[in-house]
Amino acid sequence: MVLNKKSSNFAPDFKETDFKMNITKENVDALNAVVKVDIVADDYKEKVTKILNDYRKTANIPGFRKGNVPMGMVKKQYGKSVMIDEVNKLLQESLNKFLVEEKLDILGNPLPKVNENFSWDSEQFSFEFELGLAPEFDVDLKSKKVKQYNIVATDELIEKEVENIQSRYGNVITQEVAEEHSNVTGTFVNEEKEINKKATFLVNDLKGKKNEKKLIGTKVGDVVELETKKLFADDHKLEQILGVSHDEAHDLDVKVTFTVEEINVTEKAELDQELFEKLFADGSVKTVTDLKDKIKEDAEKQFQQQADQQLLNSVTETLVENTKFDLPKEFLQKWLQTAGEKQLTAEEAVAEYEKSEKGLRYQLIEGKIMKDNDIKLDYAELTDYAKGFIRIQMAQFGNANPEEKELDEIAGRILSNQDEARRLQEQLMSQKLVTFFKGNMKFDTKEVSYEDFIKEVYNVDKK
């Protein structure tokens, strides 16, 4: 549940009108109120008369010339529906204006109260709306330390990336016979499980010497039988190689035939100036040390993004846990029944509220932090942020220095898409909040490798 305070259905887009009707608010408690709007004939009669006069000028009714239809007939045919339309317009405009002028911080939309005795046959009307009021609270940013990770690129990770680069830019040499470090391409088949999948893998990716021995020494056209259970050290590799589902990969225990179709080995590229220039045309890397420094810098930039996301998640949990306030629970559950495209039952609304309450609480906390600390962004900032993404993408396609006019045009097209603009806005605001939190909260900082970060935060062992 994303709950916009002062919801768009009651946005302050009213026209400047001299409303005469009487509007009053009665507080039920600190989180609930009722607004009563009284409308009398003088509030809408003039507008209704004008519209009916316009109808009279254009109405085509058999037996009467255009413009000469008796007003009584026009009133009888159109009067009630026009009056209802004008009262409803007046009601929403006046309610919008009242909420803004009174600076009421509401949650959800005003909910109309049912009046069993209501009748459109009257000339004066009373409407009542229930309001859910946003709670008042303070946010203590320094009461509890938050876990923060500083992810470093280890020597092991850097060496592995150097080897990957050498393999990617190396020469592929066809082999007659498969060896331990050979790349083998072939087709796995098991009729019972409907497996028929072509795949490429390193012989030493197989788990256990028994499986390796079955492939070492094979030639193109040879067929070997393998067991899927513990075939690879990582079950996710089996999922990719055999094209089975994630759940199947973990428990798959069948025999498959593998027909060898290609055998080759990659001769690693030399770490020389030719390779450095292929990787970094700007000449920023001239030695192996430079390359390793660059790998470390780029890796830790990417790690920082993940560390910042984890930090934001931890801050969210901490603030929600330590910022106490009540919500108009019953009102919000009632509002949820009609807020979406599909109407919910009372039970479904309760379940939806419980599922989304934590998100709503953080939304209110975040809004207060932004308001109290004047954290906001304007269109120029959003445009610059979008242009940054565009520059990165264009550089990947060889255009490292696009013209500013071109960037402005592309950014304008992207931001004209509401979904894309909202996505970029959320990303930029998250960055601003992370920067704010780093400067205003207490942290328990821990330096870890990327593998240990993944294991500790997501309980996944990448080693």
- For residues 83-91, give the mean pLDDT: 95
Residue 11: pLDDT above 50? no
Q: Which domains are present in the chain?
A: 8-133 (3.30.70.1050), 171-267 (3.10.50), 285-458 (1.10.3120)
How far is residue 389's CA from residue 316's CA, in Å, rounded to a whole number? Answer: 26
The confidence band for 309, taking pLDDT boundaries of 50, 70 and 90, is: very high
What pLDDT, on a 0 to 100 scale, did the predictor assign at position 462?
54
CB 1 within 8 A of CB 85: no
If you average pLDDT over residues 179-188, what whole number do you get?
Answer: 93
What is the structure's pLDDT at 441?
96
Cite the beta strand spans of 153-237 per DSSP E. 171-174, 183-190, 195-202, 223-227
Please give the pLDDT value at position 459. Answer: 78
Mean predicted confidence (pLDDT) in 117-126: 91
Q: Which residue has the higher pLDDT, 282 or 217?
A: 217
pLDDT class of 6 with cuts at 50, 70, 90: very low
Report residue 224: phi and psi, to 5°. -120, 155
* Structure confidence by residue, pLDDT tens digits, 59-79: 777 777 777 788 888 888 889
Beta bridge partners of 263: 184
DSSP state of 9: G
320-330 pLDDT per residue, tens: 999 999 999 99
Return the pLDDT at 269. 94
So what's the pLDDT on residue 383? 95
Q: Is pLDDT above 50 for 258?
A: yes
Kindly state the average pLDDT of the residues 99-125.
92
Q: Return the residue matching tokens 């910022």.
A: 323
Q: SS3 of 183, please?
A: strand
**DSSP letters along 375-417, please?**
----HHHHHHHHHHHHHHHHHHTT-SS--HHHHHHHHHHHHTS
pLDDT at 340: 87
Cα separation, 384 vs 328, in Å, equals: 40
For a pLDDT cut of 70, what percent of the chain falls above it? 94
* CA distance linking residue 463 with residue 458, whole number of Å: 14
Whether the pLDDT of residue 21 is over 80: the answer is no
Q: Where are the beta strands (DSSP E) in 99-245?
A: 106-112, 125-133, 146-152, 171-174, 183-190, 195-202, 223-227
184, with CB counted inside 10 A (0-12, 13-18, 19+), is buried
Q: 280 or 154: whose pLDDT is higher?
A: 154
**In this structure, which amino acid lies at residue 352?**
E
Judged against a pLDDT cut of 50, whether residue 256 lies above it is answered with: yes
Render 133-145 in DSSP notation, one character per residue: EPPP----SSSS-
| pLDDT greater than 80 at residue 343 | yes
* pLDDT at 125 > cutoff 90: yes
For the chain, give the mean pLDDT: 90
pTM for this entry: 0.74
Most confident listed range (77-81, 192-196, 364-368): 364-368
CA distances (Å), origin 60, targets 57, 70, 71, 275: 9, 12, 13, 84
pLDDT given for residue 311 in this prediction = 96
Segment among 233-237, 337-341, 350-354, 449-453 with least mean pLDDT: 233-237
The predicted pLDDT at position 16 comes to 41
pLDDT for 7 beyond 50: no
Of the pLDDT bands very low, low, confident and very high (cuts 50, 70, 90), residue 282 is confident
Model confidence band, residue 415 (pLDDT cutoffs 50, 70, 90): very high
Our separate counts of H helices and E strands in the chain read 15, 11
Is there a contact between 126 and 40 (Cβ–Cβ < 8 Å)? no
Give the residue with greater pLDDT, 102 vs 210: 102
